[in-house]
Chains A and B, each alone.
Chain A
Amino acid sequence: MTLTIIGALPLFGALLIALLGNSQKENIKKLALLTTALTFAATVVAALNFEIDRPGFQFVEKYSWIPPLGVNFQVGVDGISLILILLSTILVPVVILAGWNESEGGRFSVKTFYILMLVLETMMIGVFAATDVFLFYIFFEAMLVPVYFLIGGYGSGARQAAAVKFLLYSLFGGLLMLASIIGLYVISSNQIGRTFDIEALQTLKIDSLTENLLFLGFFIAFAIKAPLWPLHTWLPDAAKSATPGTSILLLGVLDKVGTFGMIRYGVELFPNASKTFTPLIITLAVISIIYGAILAIGQKDIESLIAFTSISHFGFITMGIFAMTTHGNSGATLYMLNHGFSTAALFMTAGWMISRRGSSTIADFGGLQRVTPILAWSFFIAGLSSLALPGLSSFVSEFLVLVGTYTRYPVAAIIGTIGIILAALYILIPVQKALHGPTTPGNENLPDLNKREIIAIAPIIALIIGLGFYPKPALDVINPAAKATITKAGFTDPAPVVKGGDK
């Protein structure tokens, strides 16, 4: 019952909030914070009971749901999904605390904001925990609805257009995936009886043309979600228009559904097709890395900048997944976790800067280091984590991805490293412009972080530094799952070769 309880907690909180009056804004916020904090605590307790060395899914639950279609309510976690659920459940309370007032002044009420947020959390947990493809699809699609209303209802600027663009892109991908799921369903009902059980589906024998097509259906959906160049155009708009909190969840968690899906429903489900498309996907990933980085350098708007850096980072993650090595794969999963933290920290600090200054243009800031030292330092550390400075968490994952890729695709890995250099540019330029130098007129009296904001960002900064020095706990959970993925895909890690060493 563990996972169901964790997943149902936010939903329960949403129901309680629905019972409160519209005017009890503070109570609504506190209740939302309490619920999500409890959810996180429950997840941590569950994670402590996770047996690292046990293969396969744990905390498995299975209830019959729609027997005529062979659909089960079936959940379970392996190392990868556990890490992502932990990421989701920690980010939601942090987001609520950090953006205490961002629910106000939207199109809909404060109450609606938190109901949407909590419903979204349930769906995020569900999408990672589902081990039934049909159930996964339901969460995958239904998740779009709260996000759509969060962007369109509470964002800024051209929020409606951004929300619609997000929704249409995602629906298009989702429908392609639906076609593939229907294909899988029909093949499974011919071979092993109607089922959507992910482990059962891995045993299907699919001819190679069909497998390629089914894989593409899934992959395009995930590549839109992740997003991979050239399917990325919705992301900067959405990230720029959404509230910082929504952007954190969008980039930090929702986009991970794409990369998570590539592992669970791409590589594991269609190993041969994954193999066939690997060169293409690696190429796209490398393009994403470079393209995202170069465009990030050119951005004048701080939120678009973070969005483009994420496109670059998702390129790294995708490259790690399709390198088909244990290092690459566990690096990619760790990357998902770390990217969640560094993006959250960046968006939080950026959000505070924007709300204080009333502008999101980088050029409007300057000399924040002197005026608001805590804010500036937080932004700085988040930025350094984003550019993968050794000692901060992202370094470990980026290194693992590059090492894992190099053993099989040296050229891609070498081009990918250019992304690291560009990362220094896209982070250090805004850091220099916004934090250092003379204080831009009008910024002299900006207030520094208050207690609430410090409490919100402290755990994230702590995690960024902590996992940078000691990533072992996370890697211990991820590694067995990553190995299992590579084995399921039918790969073995290439043995390291030292050329001309032992003559």
Chain B
Amino acid sequence: MGFNSPSLEYSALAPMLVIFGAGIIAVLVEAFVSAKLRPSLQLALSIGAVILAFAQVIRLRGTETVTVADNSVIIDGPVLFMQGTILVFALLGLFLIADFEQFAAQASAVPGSQEERTAIQTGKMQTEIYPLTLFAVGGMMLFPAASDLITLFVALEVLSLPLYLMAGLARRRRLLSQEAALKYFLLGAYSSAFFLFGAAFLYGYAGTVQLSGIASAISGGAGNDVFFLIGIAALSVGLLFKVGAVPFHAWTPDVYQGAPTAVTAFMAAATKVAAFGAALRIFYTALAGAEWSWKPLITSVAILTMIVGSIIALAQRDVKRMLAYSSIAHAGFLLTGILALNKSGLAASLFYLAIYGLTTLGAFALVSLVQDSAGEVADLNRWVGLAKRSPLIATFFALFLLSFAGIPLTSGFIGKFTIFSAAYESGNTGVVVVGVLSSAVAAFFYIRVIVMMFFTDPEEDTVTVTIPPQFTSTVIWIAALTTLAFGVFPTPLLDAIASLSTFVR
């Protein structure tokens, strides 16, 4: 038996190939270019690659749906939208990373060691973050496009491994950062194992790893139901871990807190798109026929996620942890989009992912600006009276929080409205009611921060807000403008999403 080399459709794969190619070049740059040139070269290379890839996505939009790379990848409307969204987030994330001075001088040096001190003294700057980001972006773009379980798993690992490393790169409080990275890695590896386990059982059930094959096996009705149920359950665990749903959410606050803020921003926005993209594809295409097997499970996870995320966020005293629990609550809202299982559910999810990511990037970018002499200050108690000293920053942060809370005239409201109405339309009324009520709880802690910033007098021990570096302020402005614009005139984005074909089964 001879091997045929797989035929690759380079055109359809171009966005991903550009990113992966640039990632490999970046590794070479890391090895061969002098340390002085590296930072600017790496930045230019990464940004160039992201823009080029985005141009490829734009070129591909509206083209016929294609199955490429020997049926392992599907490029359809929703995938292109998600890839475009991820690339936009990557661009903004790279902006933040470029401005961010809080990365470890030398990641390999042991915290507190002589080697570390030397690295800081000699002004070393690590630039590995750029190739790592590129690989993560590539994996994220592949994740929702994968059309078989093996490719899914490969994409999952490609996107996760760089993120584990990136989480550990903080310059200050390195032990916390490394602890976060290790925790993320261990739990992530564990969930990957679950995912693979689930994939194996689904293979045992359907005799194929193709998502379309699993769908037809379900509609055929033949096969071992026990294998099927174990497969779904384990696969769901892997996916729910990545989206940060309760009870698989434990890593989220620690990683959000420990990771360098620029990385948190990128991760919070882009990983959500990739993970929900893949989850949407799997549940909408492969498992749609068996909705009665998984709907009760996902419904209870969604309800639990919304409630736990909102309630535990109430008790947080750290901005980054609060935003982490808020992201958990939002994962719950997004799960209602999966439950909807109809075209408007898909459209609403895509819209929600896009606008939520933009707001999240803006919020974390702002967090990175609030500093004292020892670096970033995430302790909420020290944010009091921020509006007195920097009204603009406080106003922007309030805008982002109001959008998270879903107040009208912000994009968050339109997102919530569309995703809840999709869920209601499909008959998941209970989830909608829980969602609305937990939004009310969530509103409380967003407002508490606004009260702290605007209505409480600053104590003596104050934080300073650094003057935003160029790139960071660009990110904040883009985030603020889109948060408002998509709140008042969401039509272009909604129309663009509505014009996409639905997932190809």
Contact = CB atoms under 8 A, between A and B. Distances in A.
Interface of A: 65-69, 107, 137-138, 141-142, 145, 149, 152-153, 159-160, 163-164, 167-168, 171-172, 175-176, 178-179, 182-183, 185-186, 189
A464 B206 CA distance: 80
A189 B343 CA distance: 14
7 contacts: A65-B491, A66-B491, A68-B490, A137-B408, A167-B447, A168-B443, A183-B429
Nearest to B410: A142
* Interface residues of B, dominant DSSP: helix
A153 B498 contact: no
B451 A182 contact: no
B264 interface: no
Contacts of B436: 175-176, 178-179
Given A69-B417, A160-B451, A182-B417, A142 B408 contact: yes
Contacts of A137: 408
Interface in B386-405: 402, 405
B443 A171 contact: yes
A179 B439 CA distance: 11
B437 interface: yes
Contact of B491 (A68, A107, A167): A68
Nearest to A168: B444
Contacts of B477: none
A153 B455 contact: yes
Interface in B419-448: 420-421, 424-425, 429, 432-433, 436-437, 439-440, 443-444, 447-448
Nearest to B487: A138
Contacts of A175: 436-437, 439-440, 443
Given A153-B454, A168-B447, A179-B433, A138 B421 contact: no
A152 B417 contact: no
B437 A67 contact: no
A345 to B, nearest CB: 30
Interface residues on B, range: 35 or more
Contact of A186 (B405, B425, B448, B490): B425
A163 B447 CA distance: 11
Contacts of B414: 66, 69
A152 B454 contact: yes
Interface in B433-489: 433, 436-437, 439-440, 443-444, 447-448, 451, 454-456, 489
Given A68-B498, A142-B408, A186-B421, A152 B455 contact: yes
A189 B451 contact: no
B396 to A, nearest CB: 15
A67 B455 CA distance: 39
Nearest to B444: A168
B56 to A, nearest CB: 27
B150 interface: no
Contacts of A164: 447-448, 451
Nearest to B407: A141
B455 A107 contact: yes
B189 interface: no
A65 B490 CA distance: 9
A176 B440 CA distance: 9
Given A68-B495, A152-B451, A182-B424, A172 B408 contact: no
A182 B402 CA distance: 20
Contacts of B27: none
Contacts of B408: 137-138, 141-142
B494 interface: yes
A186 B418 CA distance: 11
A185 B421 contact: yes
Contacts of A189: 425
A186 B407 contact: no
Contacts of A68: 490-491, 494-495, 498
A65 B437 CA distance: 28
A183 B420 CA distance: 9
B409 interface: yes
A99 to B, nearest CB: 21
A97 B495 CA distance: 47
